[in-house]
Every structure is written in structure tokens, then in C-alpha cells.
Amino acid sequence: MKSLSSMKDHNENAETKAPWWKRVMWLVFIYAASVLALGVVASLFRMMMTAAGMRSH
């Protein structure tokens, strides 16, 4: 069984070996997913407000 310190060293080595473009792509993916989720929530609020009779004139 591996000790906690050897597992920690392995994780640090694996993290430093990841190419920069993979890290950038994860950042872009997380940003795009958060913008999409915000859009979905905003659309749901707009539908609920329209259903409640709150319309813009």
C-alpha cells in the first residue's frame, strides 16, 4: 500500500506533466459550461415570470 506522501508526490508529478493546452482547454470548457448554465437559469426565470403575468411592455 502506498503511503500518503508517495501518492502526493505522484500527483504533483502528474500535474506538472500535463501540457499547457490541456489546462487551457479545461479553463475554456468550465467557462463555457458556466455561461451556458447561467443562460439556462435566466431562461427559466424569464419563463416563470411570463407565466406569472409579468410581461414587459
Domain boundaries, the chain: 19-57
What single-letter amino acid sits at 13? N
Predicted model pTM: 0.61
Res 31: pLDDT: 99
Give the pLDDT band of residue 18 (cuts 50, 70, 90).
confident
Res 6: pLDDT: 65
pLDDT, average across residues 19-36 = 97
> Which residues in 11-44 are b (16+ Cβ under 10 Å) and which e?
eeeeeeeeeeeeeeeeeeeeeeeeeeeeeeeeee
Mean pLDDT of the chain: 86
Say which residues have a Cβ less than 8 Å from residue 16's Cβ, sequence separation at least 6: none
Please give the residue that has the higher pLDDT: either 14 or 22: 22
Res 9: pLDDT: 62
